[in-house]
Amino acid sequence: MDSIRIVGGHRLNGVIPISGAKNAALPLMIASLLTDDTLTLENVPHLADVEQLIRILSNHGVDYAVRGRRRADGQNFARTIDFTARDIVDVTAPYELVSKMRASFWVIGPLLARMGEARVSLPGGCAIGTRPVDLFIEVLSALGAQIEIEKGYVHATAGNGLVGARYAFPKVSVGATHVALMAASLARGETVLENAAREPEVRCLAECLNAMGAKIEGAGTDTIHIEGVAALSGARHRVIPDRIETGTYAMAVGMTGGDVLLKGAETETWQAAIDVLGEAGIDITPEEGGVRVYRNGNGLVAADVTTRPFPGFPTDLQAQFMGLMTKASGTSRITETIFENRFMHVQELARLGADIALNGQTATVTGVPVLKGAPVMATDLRASVSLVIAGLAAEGETQVNRVYHLDRGFERLEEKLGACGAEIARVSA
């Protein structure tokens, strides 16, 4: 099993290219199930989750063709992928596939809308909380689906097709909003989604669906109107830059000092994080071609955050921010409101010398002058990269184990950081 070896104490200077967003690519790929034409997606990142979803879509009969530059070691990047679901050969998403990635449950929406039936395994447990599928079931039921849960599977049918409806989400859910958008695009009549997720990834999906012939208005606000159409066509769409990767590398620069251009990054999709990082002493300015991040000479200052749905501070940056605050002057309070059990990185950061106290869903971080390298273990995707951020500033060597978590959401992380001066390498067992 691979690990990441880091020798801390090196400033970051240079350029880091920002990849396409995993959280946008996954629902876009699933949208290919809605049409028998080809959906072409540009800027698809090379990640373990993307490869797993390709296998899941192939199980349903989706053909794909990958185009993109190929480096000498065989890694793809800046890829374009054609997805063609001309014939759906199976409406069942089995447990052995769905259990490996929760987002694969989202195939229930387009399969049901296009085929009138979907049988999808319940996803099972999740390291960062229960993340139930009740909102998915409720919104599909509102659209006229008949739902039965049997032997660990959600069996949804709509023999006469889905019908538009008004549905108010009892709480904001990005995944359920994705599924509702895809399902309602082929429903008869108008659907109104209230208290919908406002994330940029939702807007990206809606823009792609509109390019395919859907009629969606209001994506990016909390009320979305969808006028159903009889069929969708193929389209070409570009995956947006990854705001979580952008924020993560900004924090890495802040942790080590230096000056880095995050090439291709945008600012409007993570403004809440930019504001907090400014309070912490990190300068972030938009420039032609990306976003410049620098911290030269000034120390880090403690700041408080509470995770919120967009446009609030993203839960997917919480662990990274905690890693940053371990060396800030003063005491910061980090409150997690989205997921339970998302503080598993605390004990691993403590192995590096961090001073963190937990009280329910709030972590109190008292900055320390020195972190010291040690072997640590990644527990989930975002937790793993928080350990990398801390390791970049720790004295001596840090070894991050279980880095398969990193490979799910960060493309060529060690290469990108290494090119800017970090002493970091992947070590194969």
Q: Indicate the domain borders of the chain.
A: 3-19+241-427, 22-238
Q: Around 188, how many Cα atoms within 13 Å sit in the side-chain half-sphere?
A: 9
Phi, psi of 187 (to 5 degrees): -80, 155
pLDDT for 361 equals 94
Listed as ranges, residues in the chain with pLDDT below 50 are 71-76, 125-130
Reported as type and span, the H/E element at residue 136 is helix 134-142
Residues 137 and 154 sit within 8 Å (Cβ to Cβ): yes
Contact residues for 401 (Cβ-Cβ < 8 A; gap 6+): 1, 3, 375, 376, 377, 378
The identity of residue 230, as a single letter, is A
pLDDT at 69: 57
Give the span between the Cα atoms of 22 and 240, in whole angstroms. 9
Same-fold call for 3-19+241-427 versus 22-238: yes
State the binding site for phosphoenolpyruvate.
22-23
**Looking at residue 130, what is its pLDDT?**
46
Asked about 204 being catalytic, the answer comes back as no
pLDDT tens per residue across span 290-302 = 999 999 778 999 9
Other Cβ atoms within 10 Å of 379 Cβ, number: 23
Is the CB of residue 405 less than 8 Å from the CB of residue 48? no
- For residue 203, the model assigns a pLDDT of 98
Express each pLDDT in 2-14 by its tens digit: 999 999 999 999 9
What's the pLDDT tens digit per position in 215-240?
A: 999 999 999 999 999 999 999 999 99
Q: Would you say 130 and 340 are in contact if contact means Cβ atoms under 8 Å apart? A: yes
Known binding site: residues?
Answer: 22-23, 102, 131-135, 171-174, 316, 338
At residue 72, the pLDDT reads 39
The token duo for 249 is 């590398």
List binding-site positions for UDP-N-acetyl-alpha-D-glucosamine.
102, 131-135, 171-174, 316, 338
Q: Give the integer Cα–Cα distance in Å for 21 and 241.
A: 5
126, 204, 208, 420: which is the annotated catalytic residue? 126
Give the pLDDT score at 67: 83
Structure tokens at 203: 């807007």
Give the CATH H-level superfamily of domain 3-19+241-427: Enolpyruvate transferase domain (3.65.10.10)
CA distance 328 to 319: 15
CATH fold of 22-238 reads UDP-n-acetylglucosamine1-carboxyvinyl-transferase; Chain (3.65.10)
